[in-house]
Structure 1
Amino acid sequence: MLDYGKEAEAYDATRGGEARAGAAADAALGLVPADASRLLDVACGTGIVTRRLAADRPGLQVTGCDLTAGMARMAAARLPGAILLADSRRLPFSDGTFDAVTSIWLLHLLEDPAEVRAVVAECARVLRPGGVYVTTVDKAAAHDVGSDIDSVMAPRPRRPARDACATVAAHAAEHGLLPAGRASFVGLGQGRSPRRTIADLRRGWFTVLPPGDPRTETYADRLATLPDQDRPRPDPRFTLRCFRRPEAG
């Protein structure tokens, strides 16, 4: 896994910046009830989406939390007084604190399936009756856009998707959450070019192909033969799922 403390400073610029953040926030808020008053953004990273959630829904009190100190510092600069350093597997909030909880681009990062279950359980625990949990699912699949890059990379080894939609839905159901909608948004500015994909390979972004592995260089060599090395291919399209805690009684 990447060192997100070291990634913090360059994180936004390499992942679509404000355009992607705005698209993510807009799609997430479309699944949050209009009368929600308190929202928790779990694993908020640099706070670029968290700030948009707050700005785009006046009157919504938004809190963010992240496990990585470097990320949390950047988020705190964007939303002073609203960011906590916290582990999403053990949230420091009482049961039923929030009307909505979001986790954008979190579950796919977790190595152990038990950690995914723990995060979903915590997000469910801090929801009040009638509250909603909104999360991205199937993140890796979003980048398969049918391009020539995808054709080259198709045979690569992959780890099981920790954020598979069916898996997340099953965990949500275990903790009393019911399906309540879905949405999608475009990862603006994240379309991959061959040259950028080669750089990502060598940085370890493809988690089962570590830097220096001979297989990594084999894929890099194949990508280097593609035309238009600096032309981005289509942007990914990310999926959000929403789950609701039923009203008491």
Structure 2
Amino acid sequence: MLDYDVEVARYDATRGGVPRAQSAARAILALVPDRARTLLDVGCGTGLVTERLVRPGLRVFGLDAAPGMLRAASERMGPALVLGDCRQLPFADASLDAVSAVWLLHLLPNAATVVAECARVLRPGGLFVTTVDKDTCHDMHSDVDELLAPYRVHRAYDRASRIMAVASEHRLRRAGEARFTGHGQGRSPARIAVEVTRGYFSSALAMDEEQSAALVRRLELLPDPEVPRADPVYRLLALRKEG
């Protein structure tokens, strides 16, 4: 996994910035009922999405385990931030109306523990909103993704069927879903070639040095190497806690 205290310096700029964050926040709010008064954004990172979860009467908190990320988020959100572990949320049982987790579960081998914690802190009738199937949003999406696909490590920690199975064990039932565009995440061959060379995908792609060099050569031969391919479309699941 990336060192997010280091990654913070380039995080927003390399992940679609404000347009992507706005797209995610709109999709989350479309699923969260108007009656919700509290929302916790787990794995809030730099707060770019979290600060856009704005609605009259809704109090929003952000939580992240990386101090560097929270320092960046504090410039946007001030004191409504918590340094904490998503596997052991520092909130009381049944204390929140909604919890969101965007682009988080796909990183975590213990995603089931995080789902259980989110369920624990939700009040009956509360809603857990999370992205699922993140990697498949890119797979075979373009000529670039076709070249990456044979090397991709499919951990699928956030596979929708897996998340829903765990959720059901904690009285979370499917309540809806939404999709939103990952603006700025379309990959150009030139950009990906540089990032493969730098080892940026070391945790996501399984290859040796020879395979890496061959992949870079194939990327460099693709047409329009500087042109980003189409943006991915991400999937959000909404899960309601039964009383």
TM-score normalised by length of structure 2: 0.95
Rounded to whole Å, the distance in 1 between the matches of 2:83 and 2:20 is: 24
Contact 1:32–1:100 at 8 Å: present in 2 too? yes
The size of the alignment, in residue pairs, is: 242
SS state at 2:61 partner: strand
SS state at 1:154 partner: helix
Rounded to whole Å, the distance in 1 between the matches of 2:185 and 2:34 is: 30
Alignment deviations for residues 157-199 of structure 1 (CA, whole Å, 9 cap, x no partner): 4232110000010111111100000100000111100011112
Q: Structure 2: which 5+ runs fail to align?
A: none
1:76 to 74, 77, 86: 74
Amino acid at match of 1:121: A
What RMSD over aligned residues (CA atoms) do the two structures have, in Å?
1.5
SS state at 2:221 partner: coil
Amino acid at match of 1:182: E
SS state at 1:48 partner: coil
Partner of 1:162: 157
Amino acid at match of 1:230: E
Offset of 1:205 from its aligned partner? 2.5
Alignment deviations for residues 58-84 of structure 1 (CA, whole Å, 9 cap, x no partner): 221000000001001111111001011
Alignment deviations for residues 15-39 of structure 1 (CA, whole Å, 9 cap, x no partner): 0000000000000111100110000
> In the alignment, is residue 179 of structure 1 matched against residue 177 of structure 2?
no
Q: Structure 1: which 5+ runs fail to align?
A: none
Amino acid at match of 1:72: L
> In the alignment, is residue 12 of structure 1 matched against residue 4 of structure 2?
no
Rounded to whole Å, the distance in 1 between the matches of 2:204 and 2:142 is: 21
Contact 1:145–1:236 at 8 Å: present in 2 too? no
Rounded to whole Å, the distance in 2 between the matches of 1:22 and 1:206 is: 29
Contact 2:98–2:122 at 8 Å: present in 1 too? yes
Partner of 1:67: 65
Amino acid at match of 1:80: G
Partner of 2:233: 237
> In the alignment, is residue 136 of structure 1 matched against residue 134 of structure 2?
no
Contact 1:6–1:70 at 8 Å: present in 2 too? yes
Of stretches 21-30 and 210-219 in structure 1, the one that deviates more from structure 2 is: 210-219
Contact 2:152–2:206 at 8 Å: present in 1 too? no
Contact 2:151–2:206 at 8 Å: present in 1 too? no
SS state at 2:151 partner: coil
Alignment deviations for residues 209-237 of structure 1 (CA, whole Å, 9 cap, x no partner): 37973322221111111111100100010
From the superposition, tell whether residues 143 and 157 of structure 1 become closer, same or farther in structure 2 (CA, over 3 Å). Answer: closer
Contact 2:140–2:149 at 8 Å: present in 1 too? no
Offset of 1:105 from its aligned partner? 0.3
TM-score normalised by length of structure 1: 0.93
SS state at 2:215 partner: helix
Alignment of 1:14-33 (within 5 A): 14-33=14-33
Contact 2:40–2:62 at 8 Å: present in 1 too? yes
Offset of 1:10 from its aligned partner? 1.1
Rounded to whole Å, the distance in 2 between the matches of 1:4 and 1:212 is: 25
Partner of 2:190: 195
Contact 1:37–1:60 at 8 Å: present in 2 too? yes
Amino acid at match of 1:28: I
Contact 1:144–1:236 at 8 Å: present in 2 too? no
